[in-house]
């Protein structure tokens, strides 16, 4: 890994606040962000990144690269949960293997937002359609995970009745709806109107991201101790599988885009794991899956690994190749 890229990422203020949150948990500090404030900031971040992506998309038009990017996103959201499931079910129950597979096939919007902040820090551009790719990847992995669980536990005949409900729940999930809705609004709004709310959507973005990552650091620090008690297999999976997925996504992205920012975001989309949309869906669709297993894996291990190491690691590879 490029040591300079790692040092630059570590000195990013948002990441330093994330590390502060982890340290606060380890020293048993009572530092915490009020829950309502945390929810508001997460809503703001999704709204802002979706709106800005829609604005960029409105100026780019449809192209072969955009269609190919959408296709790659859907492919990753299908293949990753399939491969993860068959790896996991050798050691874990069908329900837990499916829930974890869905988590790692889906994406982390917060990791994506952190990666865009890194790109801005490095003055590297990316295209607005990558926001749409992220939104597309939320639901398919959840559906694949539940279908696999139903198939291996009860047979294919009972799958059909759940697919429509699961699809609707995935699409109407608050995070998905907000990012897609903001993307559409940003696409429809004129440049003049967008400029009027620029102080809200752009100027204060990094400050809110720093506070949110402080909160995520506190949450991740608490989850870390939980996953350590679940055994070596889940721990190793949550470390190794994201890098395998991220590198595969990065390699394929080289074939469809030469935009450095897009390539990095594809690597992060392939290597991240959902800890918001998937737990919400699994709670309803697969109640016998253990959230104290798949949630700490995604949030306690994979998320900080991607934020602290994954982003500069993929970036250094891209710089070496390009």
Q: What is the pLDDT of residues 66-80, one digit of tens each?
A: 899 999 999 999 999
Asked if residues 168 and 133 have their Cβ atoms less than 8 Å apart, the reply is: no
Whole-model pTM over 0.85 = no
CA proximity to 139, closest of 99, 167, 161, 181: 167
For residue 159, give every residue at least 6 positions away whose Cβ sits within 8 Å of its Cβ, in sequence order, or none.
Answer: 147, 150, 151
Helices (H), 156-298: 160-172, 174-188, 191-196, 198, 205-228, 232-256, 260-271, 277-285, 291-296
CA proximity to 97, closest of 144, 139, 145, 138: 145
Helices (H), 89-108: 94-105
Asked if residues 147 and 163 have their Cβ atoms less than 8 Å apart, the reply is: yes
pLDDT in tens, 92-118: 999 999 999 999 999 988 899 889 988
In angstroms, the CA 130 to CA 107 distance is: 13
- The CATH number of the structural domain formed by 15-25+33-321 is 1.20.1530.20
pLDDT of 317 above 60: yes
Asked if residues 311 and 2 have their Cβ atoms less than 8 Å apart, the reply is: no
Token pair for residue 289?
A: 């899956």
In angstroms, the CA 240 to CA 15 distance is: 22
The pLDDT of 45-66, averaged and rounded, is 80
Asked if residues 275 and 298 have their Cβ atoms less than 8 Å apart, the reply is: yes
* Residue in the structure block whose two tokens are 């802002």: 48
Choose the weakest-confidence range: 74-83, 155-164, 254-263: 155-164
Instruction: Quote the pLDDT of residue 156.
Output: 46
């Amino acid at each position: 890994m490029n040591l300079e890229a790692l040092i630059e990422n570590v000195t990013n203020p948002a990441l330093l606040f994330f590390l502060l949150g982890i340290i606060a948990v380890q020293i048993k500090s009572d530092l915490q962000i009020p829950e309502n404030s945390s929810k508001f900031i997460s809503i703001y971040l999704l709204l802002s990144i979706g709106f800005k992506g829609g604005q960029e998309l409105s100026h780019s038009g449809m192209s072969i690269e955009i269609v190919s990017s959408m296709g790659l996103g859907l492919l990753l959201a299908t293949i990753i949960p399939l491969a993860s499931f068959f790896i996991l079910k050798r050691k874990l129950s069908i329900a837990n293997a499916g829930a974890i597979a869905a988590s790692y096939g889906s994406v982390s919007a917060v990791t994506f937002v952190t990666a865009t902040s890194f790109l801005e820090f490095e003055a590297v551009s990316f295209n607005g359609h990558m926001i749409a790719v992220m939104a597309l990847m939320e639901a398919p992995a959840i559906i694949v995970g539940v279908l696999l669980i139903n198939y291996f536990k009860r047979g294919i005949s009972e799958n059909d009745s759940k697919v429509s409900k699961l699809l609707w729940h995935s699409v109407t999930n608050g995070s998905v709806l907000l990012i897609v809705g903001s993307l559409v609004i940003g696409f429809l709004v004129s440049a003049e109107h967008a400029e009027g709310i620029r102080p809200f959507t752009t100027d204060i973005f990094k400050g809110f991201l720093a506070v949110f990552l402080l909160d995520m650091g506190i949450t991740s620090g608490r989850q870390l101790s939980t996953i350590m008690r679940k055994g070596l297999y889940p721990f190793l999976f949550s470390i190794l599988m994201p890098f395998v997925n991220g590198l595969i996504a990065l390699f394929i992205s080289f074939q469809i885009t030469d935009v450095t920012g897009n390539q990095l975001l594809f690597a992060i989309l392939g290597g991240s794991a959902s800890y918001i949309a998937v737990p919400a869906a699994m709670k309803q669709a697969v109640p016998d899956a253990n959230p104290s297993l798949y949630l700490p894996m995604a949030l306690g291990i994979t998320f900080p690994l991607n934020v602290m190491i994954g982003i500069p690691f993929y970036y250094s590879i891209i710089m070496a190749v390009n």
